Structure 1
Amino acid sequence: MKITIDLMACKAYANCLVEAPDVFDFSEETGKAIVLEGGVPNASIEDVRRAIDACPTHAITVVE
């Protein structure tokens, strides 16, 4: 599973961090969401799906 974040669309609402804190964080440089290194733990796949649904700007995409 590869997760990408459209930084132009991301408005830093932090919904992704609430739904999948093991997968997402904020960049101190840009103030936007980032995907943490190490991929998606199997237990977090459903959390990622909830994060995608919770993103009001649809900035998160996944390729499985």
Structure 2
Amino acid sequence: MRVELDEPKCVASGQCVMASPEVFDQRDEDGIAIVLQETPEDGLLDGVREAVAICPAAAIRLVEQ
């Protein structure tokens, strides 16, 4: 699975970071999300799925490779 972030859609809410801090972080200057692990290991996928579900801007997708 691969994480995709549509950066222009991100509203810097930080929900993804709280759901999956191993996979997401936020830029210091504007709070926009960044992906730390584009292809996270299976043990992290539940957190990524939660981040996808709770993102208020629907800026995150989990794509099968």
TM-score range, shorter chain: 0.7 to 0.9
Identity of aligned residues (%): 38
User: How many residue pairs get matched?
Assistant: 64
- Which SS does the other structure have where 2:62 is aligned? strand
> 2: distance between equivalents of 1:38 and 1:61?
11
* 1:59 aligned partner: 59
* 1:4 aligned partner: 4
RMSD (CA atoms): 1.6
- 1:46 maps to amino acid: D
Q: Which runs of 5+ in 1 are unaligned?
A: none
1:7-64: CA deviation from partner (whole Å, max 9, x where unpaired) = 1110100000000001001123553101104631221100000000010110001111
- 2:54 maps to amino acid: A
Length-normalised TM-score, structure 2: 0.85
Moved over 2 A (4+): 27-31
Structure 1 or 2: larger helix share? 2
Length-normalised TM-score, structure 1: 0.86
* 1:36 aligned partner: 36
